[in-house]
Structure 1
Amino acid sequence: MTGILRGFIRGVDAVNQRLGRVVMYGIFVLMGILLWSSVSKTFFLPSLWTLEMAQFVMVGYYVLGGPYSIQMGSNVRMDLLYGGWSDRRKAWFDLITVCFLIFYLCVLIYGAVSSTAYSLGYWKDAPFSFLFGVLTGAEEIGRMEQSSSAWRPYMWPIKVVMIVGFVLMLLQCLSELFKDLLRLRGETV
């Protein structure tokens, strides 16, 4: 059983580390978009797409970089008490708090899947089966949701990015949970 846990931890950590190292350069994409927005507003006609594209890039940067942040332990912590605790006590505390985070991520994934199904034109009550049907070709896409801005991009791509990011974050939280369990058993991770 320990071998399976270690394999899961290695696999999830490797995927999130590689993706996180790529996504962290998204800040430069965001800066480029905002720079172009400033230049186009000053010297040319203002671009309609820049503000909303900057928001989309920021969502991708934040959501896809979240698992890497959790893995590196760079998320915000209250070190007032936590910093002085023993490794075993930290593992217990992390084990409890990661369970709350896993529940929260499950709720977020459900909401993201429902929202994505809606953006693809589905208004019924089975969004998971609809998205699975879309992927397998069994379901037809309806009238797709577009933004209400002047640019009017389709909303489903950023919603799919959110689903991927939340699932990766859930997998990273499970990896952290398994690391805490191994630490509590006295094993090195």
Structure 2
Amino acid sequence: MLRTLERVTDAAAVIGVILIIPLILAMVYEVMSRYLFSAPTFWAYELGYMMMGAIFMLGMAHALKVRQHVTVDVLHGNLPPRGKALVNVIGYCFFIPCVAWLTWGLWGYLVRAYVSSEGTGQSAWNPQIWPYRVVLVVGFAVFLLQVLIEFAKNLQALFASDATDSRS
């Protein structure tokens, strides 16, 4: 079941990777337009930060899945597998409510932007911000899902008869 749920994380990461291509194309267009034709675009800055933010948010859960987030290994690295699992479970007990709270807060942030038709206010383009905030909510929701999956994996490792998977 956990592997099935992790497909959501994988799908979000693939979407994030695919977004790199239009980001590169938009930035190349902006640079060429600006420096070759002295005609900068009015949308490149906002499109750039929105796409880069989307790439980051959609890849955050995958980074957790493949253990690419920063960890402090001074104590953790020297623990046996069950010790690592215990430390991780305790850490996730504090981390899960924080990520859930942030996800819920971002949902309210999205709804307010949608209801008020809020624009970005960053350039003459001034697109509505709610589509970008959808990506923030989805990214954090997928991250929360992956945190819960990692919590479950560590619980399994903690209570397994042969604790060989440290989930560090």
Residue of structure 2 aligned with 1:157, choices 112, 131, 134 = 131
Q: Distance in 2 between matches of 1:82 and 1:37?
A: 46
Residue of structure 2 aligned with 1:169, choices 143, 159, 163 = 143
Q: Distance in 2 between matches of 1:168 and 1:84?
A: 30
* Equivalent residues of 2:119, 2:128 under 8 A apart: yes
User: Could you say which residue in structure 2 is the equivalent of 1:14?
Assistant: 7
What 5-or-longer segments of structure 1 have no aligned partner? 1-6, 122-142
> Superposition pairs for residues 18-167 of structure 1, below 5 Å?
18-44=11-37, 45-121=39-115, 143-148=116-121, 149-167=123-141
Q: One-letter code of the match for 2:47?
A: M
Q: Distance in 2 between matches of 1:160 and 1:22?
A: 14
Offset, 1:117: 1.1
* Equivalent residues of 1:37, 1:51 under 8 A apart: no
4+ residue segments displaced more than 4 Å: none
* Equivalent residues of 2:13, 2:59 under 8 A apart: yes
Q: One-letter code of the match for 2:8?
A: V
Q: Distance in 2 between matches of 1:94 and 1:147?
A: 39
Q: Distance in 2 between matches of 1:169 and 1:36?
A: 32
Offset, 1:108: 1.1
Number of aligned pairs? 161
Q: Distance in 1 between matches of 2:91 and 2:29?
A: 42
Offset, 1:36: 2.1
Select between 33-42 and 150-159 the one with higher mean Cα deviation. Answer: 33-42
What 5-or-longer segments of structure 2 have no aligned partner? none
Q: One-letter code of the match for 1:169?
A: F
- Secondary structure at the counterpart of residue 109 of structure 1: helix
Q: Percent sequence identity over matched residues?
A: 28
Q: Distance in 2 between matches of 1:57 and 1:24?
A: 11
Q: TM-score, normalised by structure 2?
A: 0.87
Q: Cα RMSD over matched residues?
A: 1.7
Offset, 1:94: 0.9
Offset, 1:40: 1.4
Q: TM-score, normalised by structure 1?
A: 0.78
